[in-house]
Chain A
Amino acid sequence: MAKQPVAVVGTGQTRFRSHHADKNYVELAQDAAKLALDDAGMVPDEIDAIVFSMSPTHFMGVNDVERWSIEHVWGVNKPFMRVHTGGATGGSAIQAGYFHVASGMYDTVLVVGADRVAETPDSQHVLNLIWDRFYEHDFALNTVTMTALAAQRYMHKYGTTEEQFAKVVVRGRKNALKNETAHLKGSITVDDVMNSPRVSYPFKRFDICPRSSGGAAVVLTNKDVAKEKCSRPAFMTGVSSITHSVFMGDRQGYWADTDFADQDGYDRAAQECYRQAGIIDPVREVDVLELYDPFSTFQFPALESLGFCGRGEATAINEDNGWEIDGGIVAVNPSGGTLCTNPIGVTGLVRAIDAAKQIMGRAGDMQVKNAKKAIATAIGGSTQFFTVSAFSDDYVS
């Protein structure tokens, strides 16, 4: 277990949009770092180490861009590492920051990053490059098609329809109206989703997240510094991750020990996270979920694997408004989630920030009343990296 309880005492996010013509990459990362330090009431000298959150650099176009960023996030003369687990990068980065502090090696750590996914005109061209050249690269796999395959399998297994997935998009865009940093937001209808151009069955354009640019940062510290700096810190009480092989075909069929359709890497990751956090019944105890949902089909299998309902039940609960902010089983993505904002290198970090802000009472218009426990997740690679992190108003002693 942790030698030191770890708390979030400051967070920062820039606005997210397709392009930030007013700034370059490192200036976005710097803005996020400054916002988080200001929020924590700290200066760069109080930061002992830095974890840089950044996924493939092909999107923004400078190879291994963390090097360019060092001075801009005040990392000179400090321990500095980059974390990269694809879409799960931000989820893994904040967990790495957690380990820095929990181990007792450092008091205060800055986790920071930025992305500019739309700097190159077609991100799926880049994402196809994550598959091996021998067996899978040639078959047009990318994050859209791989997720479409999983969604079709899920639909076959549980009978969920395209219209039922569309309702997740409608709820996400509506929630994002209260999120000042969200990229896409607004009142749309199921018909709007259904009538948007088909991309890869079952996805239409509106089922898919935008390509976002922006920066995000978190200040993590131990409980003594947290007491001094923050009246209501968000303690990180559970961190876990599970990793699968690159081959999605290993997780399909009779011999598989997990199912590609169910995102069931979350199964074991959640159990471990809840154990650390002392959560026995997530339905009763968790107030807010910030799920990684870049596609409309992500929430249902995730909610089931995270233990918020049984297999195949999440769709029907959604029909009954069970995942709404008010009156639902648990408030799912009050921020609008990844469907509304996806700056890949920091997406998992944004999930963690939006969860932590709920505990800190700093979520503004998105605030869920009396939020005491929140969970943030992320997924990366070919549905390979799963991270689950718990945030709470008190630490587990």
Chain B
Amino acid sequence: MSKAKSKSKAKTNAKAKSKAKSKTKVNKLQDVPFNNMVIPGEWHVRYNYSVGKVAGHFFEGLKERKILAAKCSKSGIAYLPPRAYCERSFEACDAWVEAGHEGTIESATIVTAQFEGLPKPPYAIAYVRLDGVSTAMANFIEGENLSDVTKAMAKMQPGARVKVQFNAKPEGRITDFHYRLLKK
């Protein structure tokens, strides 16, 4: 009983003290103890992306192991990924042309760190300009030993040649194929 009483007395003293203190402080609201509390959260959002006619035709082509570029006869540019309009001539692209299944590396990297939600490292990414096409398209380079990054990178310099390797059962997705280095 007496213990409880003295406790409540101490509380009153503390209260009085803080009251006296607050009189001299201007920023009363923030004169409180540091608080490290966090409230967790997550976003889950589902989508169904309409591909449209141009991309749809490209994906249908992939099912038949064809990589179809959109060509503008006015500028002479053949685009991969395909697109409806040429950004150089401002005209509609007017022909589908089939890209070669070999090409040239324009840039490459080997990833050795794990990013959340992304593939397990190591893996190699490259921009490759397929034969007959004006622009470069991203994909993975597979089939290489990536354990020595510097050594593997030496083989993936801009100018190195690659071939396109399709999956056994293409399903009309960009992941239906990947690149492999052409052995000299």
Contacts and interface: CB of A to CB of B under 8 A. Distances in A.
Interface of A: 21-22, 58, 61, 121-122, 124-125, 128, 133-136, 138-142, 144-145, 148-150, 152-153, 156-157, 197-201, 245, 247-250, 252-257, 260-261
Interface string B163-178: 0000000000111000
Nearest to B41: A61
Contacts of A152: 107-109, 153, 157-158
Given A249-B135, A253-B129, A149 B109 contact: yes
B87 A245 contact: yes
B154 to A, nearest CB: 11
A141 B125 contact: yes
A75 B47 CA distance: 34
Interface stretch (B5-13, B19-27, B93-101, B111-119): B111-119
Interface of B: 34-36, 38, 41, 43, 47, 49, 51, 55, 59, 77, 79-81, 87-88, 104, 106-113, 115-119, 123, 125-127, 129, 134-140, 149-150, 153, 157-159, 173-175
B55 A134 contact: yes
A249 B115 contact: no
A280 B126 CA distance: 39
A60 B63 CA distance: 40
A245 B155 CA distance: 29
B149 A198 contact: yes
A125 B115 contact: yes
B125 A201 contact: no
B135 A125 contact: no
A252 B34 contact: no
Given A61-B41, A199-B111, A247-B135, A140 B119 contact: yes
A17 B119 CA distance: 29
A177 B56 CA distance: 54
A253 B129 CA distance: 7
A382 to B, nearest CB: 10
Given A133-B49, A145-B125, A156-B157, A249 B113 contact: no
B153 to A, nearest CB: 5
A121 B42 CA distance: 11
A121 B116 contact: yes
Contact of B117 (A125, A201, A250, A253): A125
B63 to A, nearest CB: 15
A135 B125 contact: no
Given A156-B158, A199-B113, A201-B149, A125 B118 contact: yes
Contacts of A121: 116
Contact of A149 (B77, B127, B129, B174): B127
Contact of A134 (B81, B123, B135, B136): B81
Nearest to B175: A138
Contacts of B123: 140
A17 to B, nearest CB: 14
A58 B113 CA distance: 22
B106 A253 contact: yes
Contact of A140 (B41, B115, B137, B150): B115
A347 B34 CA distance: 28
Contacts of A122: 115-117
B158 A128 contact: no
A165 to B, nearest CB: 14
A128 B108 contact: no
B41 A153 contact: no
A155 to B, nearest CB: 9
Given A134-B81, A249-B135, A201 B115 contact: no
B106 to A, nearest CB: 4
Nearest to B111: A200
A389 B62 CA distance: 45
B13 to A, nearest CB: 28
Given A58-B43, A249-B138, A255-B77, A197 B113 contact: yes
A134 B115 contact: no
B107 A153 contact: yes
A260 B107 contact: yes
A198 B111 CA distance: 8
A142 B135 contact: no
Nearest to A133: B49
A136 B174 CA distance: 8
A199 B107 contact: no
Contacts of A200: 109-113
Contacts of B106: 153, 249, 252-253, 260
Most central of A61, A121, A250 by chain B CB within 10 Å: A250
